[in-house]
């Protein structure tokens, strides 16, 4: 594993990253106790990891909170001279939360979120249709997210304390319409503030909301308990040695799609598993340290999953945008920063 000079990670650094991927708001005193070190040492190491941008503490809001029930991955082909300009224009669109310049059948791949299929239709016709460099598009509607994880250390097992069993994120409870209807203006304000600074104190949060510390604490904890927001460490994959990012479209025999999706979700190198309608049945996102590891995965683990009839691999060349950790902020910005009471 290679790192930039001055940014080498020791075992305690990795253990800190691992713990913060599980709970990004845990107190440093708790962190130090778990890892068997002093509070001062844990605080110093965590500060260095954040200051050097090896990791950052971020808040992921459940898209359903904002009414996003239509999610689509769109492959885009572009005139060669206009790829970067087109990627920049796509990155400026509020409903586009991931923009990747890729090698493969598509030049650019984007992930989008909308409240209704009609909104997606308008986006395809007006916003994408208004970008002159685009020559063709291919849309795949996400039917179900089987796995979505940015916990790179947790998935790989790197940094786990060998004296303790590995911890896994508990299953996410279903988000019901009742829960969504219960979201009020203070919840949205808290979600936005957590996106801005996920480790800010409850006292600071309460002051910004103009409410009591107890009320702010109760509201935040409820959002966390209901899995409407997740606050975790997002570690730069490059610092962990990941240099190959690939999206793989998979065709599966119809009666084996669910089983294949479950098996793919169990693989550590697979960070996203989406059942889709379109060219493929399943799309996965993967990360590897080198091309040989990707090749080994394709010919090994992936080939052994029953029911797969074909695969298509697209290599990410450049990440132009990823804003899943700013869903509320971008949603409010697109709507004039108005929080309805």
186-197: per-residue pLDDT in tens? 999 999 999 999
pLDDT of residue 153: 44
* Within-domain flag for 196: yes
Tens digits of residue pLDDT in 297-327: 999 999 999 999 999 999 999 999 999 888 8
Q: What is the mean pLDDT of residues 213-229?
A: 94
Structural domains in the chain (count): 1
User: 87 or 178, which is more confident?
Assistant: 87
In a domain, 188, yes or no: yes
Is 185 within the bounds of a domain? yes
Q: What's the rounded Cα separation, in Å, for the pair 60 and 50?
A: 18
CB 136 within 8 A of CB 106: no
DSSP secondary structure string for all residues of 128-188:
ITT-TTEEEEEEEEEEEEEEE---HHHHHTTT--TTSPPP-PPPPPP--HHHHHT--HHHH
Compute the 3-state secondary structure of the chain and give helix, strand, coil in percent, each to the nearest 5: 40, 25, 30
Tell how many helices (H) and how many strands (E) occur in the chain: 13, 10
Give the global pTM: 0.85
Q: List the structure tokens of 127.
A: 């916003």
* Across 69-77, average pLDDT: 96
For residue 164, what pLDDT band results from cuts at 50, 70 and 90?
very low
42 vs 168: which has the higher pLDDT: 42
Residue 163 in domain: no
How far is Cα 151 from Cα 154, in angstroms, rounded to an integer?
Answer: 5
Helix (H, G, I), strand (E, B) or coil at 324: helix
Residue 3 has pLDDT above 50, yes or no: no
- The domain in which residue 200 lies consists of 176-223
> Residue 266 falls within a domain, yes or no?
no
Would residue 206 count as lying in a domain?
yes
Q: Give me the mean pLDDT over the 12-28 stretch.
A: 93
Q: Is residue 215 part of a domain?
A: yes
Over 90: is that where the pLDDT of 214 sits?
yes
User: Residue 193: which CATH number?
Assistant: 1.10.10.10
> Pick from 180, 242, 177: which is nearest to 2 by CA?
242
């Amino acid at each position: 594993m290679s790192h930039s000079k001055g940014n080498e990670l020791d075992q305690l650094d990795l253990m800190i990253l691992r713990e913060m991927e599980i709970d990004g708001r845990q107190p440093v005193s708790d962190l130090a106790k778990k890892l068997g070190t002093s509070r001062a040492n844990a605080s110093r190491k965590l500060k260095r990891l954040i200051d050097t941008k090896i990791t950052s503490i971020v808040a992921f809001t459940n898209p359903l909170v904002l009414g996003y029930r239509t999610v689509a991955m769109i492959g885009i082909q572009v005139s060669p001279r206009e790829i970067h300009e087109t990627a920049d224009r796509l990155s400026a669109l509020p409903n586009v939360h991931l923009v990747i310049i890729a090698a493969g059948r598509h030049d650019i791949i984007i992930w989008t979120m909308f409240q209704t299929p009609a909104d997606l239709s308008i986006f395809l016709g007006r916003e994408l249709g208004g970008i002159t460099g685009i020559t063709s598009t291919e849309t795949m509607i996400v039917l179900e997210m089987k796995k979505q994880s940015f916990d790179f250390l947790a998935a790989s097992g790197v940094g786990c304390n060998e004296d303790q069993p590995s911890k896994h994120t508990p299953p996410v409870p279903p988000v019901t319409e009742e829960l969504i209807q219960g979201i009020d203006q203070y919840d949205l304000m808290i979600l936005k503030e957590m996106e801005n600074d996920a480790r800010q104190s409850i006292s600071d949060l309460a002051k910004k909301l103009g409410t009591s510390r107890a009320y702010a604490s109760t509201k935040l904890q409820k959002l966390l308990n209901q899995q409407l927001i997740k606050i975790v460490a997002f570690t730069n994959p490059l610092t962990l040695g990941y240099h190959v990012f690939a999206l793989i479209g998979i065709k599966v025999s119809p009666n084996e799609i669910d089983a294949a999706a479950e098996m793919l979700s169990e693989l550590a190198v697979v960070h996203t598993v989406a059942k889709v309608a379109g060219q493929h049945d399943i799309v996965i996102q993967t990360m590897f340290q080198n091309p040989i590891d990707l090749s080994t995965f394709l010919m090994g683990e992936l080939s052994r999953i029953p029911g797969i009839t074909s695969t298509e691999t697209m290599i990410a060349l450049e990440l132009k945008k990823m804003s899943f950790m700013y869903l509320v902020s971008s949603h409010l910005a697109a709507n004039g920063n108005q929080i309805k009471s």
